[in-house]
Amino acid sequence: MPLCRFNKRLPNALRDIIIKKDIAPRAMGSVLISFGNTQVICAANIENGVPRWMKEQGMTGGWLTAEYSMLPYSTLPRKSRDSLRGKIDGRSMEIQRLIGRSLRAAIDLELLGARTVFIDCDVLQADGGTRTAAITGASIAMALACEYLVQKQELLTSPIKQLVAAVSVGIVASQALLDLDYREDKDAEVDLNLVMNESLEFIELQASGEENVFNNDQLAIMLDYGRQGISQLIKHQHQALGEKS
């Protein structure tokens, strides 16, 4: 029997995707992105200068770094701030590194010049897929920030190579599902996070069996669903940027 999803969503269907630009007026580029009930604010700023280690190693071009956090009221029960614990928890550290790796694949750091892109992703509400929403929204925010510098004539052309999007896929009750919400994710037998560019080339693939295994056929179905989801997310990104996809 097919699994009954919230709002009778099909197995290969995304949740409702909503993207609102310019949500943080002080940022060069920002969006509020919603994957269903998951909401993340993504902001991008670009500053002159690069980390000291780049200079010490004689590296040219620019750099991109990302920070990710879940606001205390984004979950039930309330999540304590990292600042009170005195350190970033392991999950947040893993996710912000993933965001950074994903977006560095989307930008020409040589063309960026000796500048640093700062990406900030703050989860307002968590209902599964916060990392994938953060990557998808941050790609838009970064594109907006680069275009901001082009308009100010600080860059001759945008260093963005391609937009990047991410989506979750999983096996729940032996069935492949796209874009899992929290209820589905907590019961998933297999969990997969997929990051791709708009050419549908892989940037990162994270897949693991949750005390289970998966076979080639299941992986093929999950990747097919993931590609479908990424293609739709890229269209949403272009629409948010006012471009034709």
In this predicted model, what pLDDT tens digit does every residue of 73-112 receive, in sequence order?
999 889 888 766 777 888 899 999 999 999 999 999 999 9
Strand order through the sheet with 115-125: 17-21, 29-35, 38-48, 115-125, 63-70
Query: Given this model, what pLDDT does residue 76 score?
Result: 87
Query: Given this model, what pLDDT does residue 4 score?
Result: 75
Q: Which two tokens stand for residue 237?
A: 């990104």
Closest CA to 168 of 130, 202, 199: 130
- What is the pTM for the complete model shown? 0.95
Q: Which two tokens stand for residue 127?
A: 């209902």
Distance, in Å, from the CA atom of 167 to the CA atom of 68, rounded to the nearest integer, reads 17
Distance, in Å, from the CA atom of 55 to the CA atom of 48, rounded to the nearest integer, reads 13
The DSSP code sequence of 169-208 is: EEEETTEEEES--HHHHHT-SEEEEEEEETT--EEEEEEE
Closest CA to 23 of 45, 37, 43: 43
Give yes or no for a contact between 221 and 169, defined as CB atoms under 8 angstroms apart. no
Ramachandran area for residue 168 (φ above 0: left; ψ -120 to 50: alpha; else beta): beta
- Domains belonging to the chain, first-starting first, are 6-240 (3.30.230.70)
Rounded alpha-carbon distances, angstroms, from residue 177 to 180, 209, 217: 7, 14, 14
Q: What is the pLDDT along the chain (245 residues), one digit of tens a residue?
A: 457 787 789 999 999 999 999 999 999 999 999 999 999 999 999 999 999 999 999 999 999 999 999 998 999 889 888 766 777 888 899 999 999 999 999 999 999 999 999 999 999 999 999 999 999 999 999 999 999 999 999 999 999 999 999 999 999 999 999 999 999 999 999 999 999 999 999 999 999 998 899 999 999 999 999 999 999 999 999 999 997 65
Distance, in Å, from the CA atom of 82 to the CA atom of 87, rounded to the nearest integer, reads 6
Strand partners, 21: 31
Write the single-letter amino acid at 49.
G
Query: Given this model, what pLDDT does residue 210 score?
Result: 82
Residue 148 DSSP SS3: helix
Residue 142 DSSP SS3: helix
Give yes or no for a contact between 245 and 238, defined as CB atoms under 8 angstroms apart. yes
Query: Given this model, what pLDDT does residue 202 score?
Result: 98
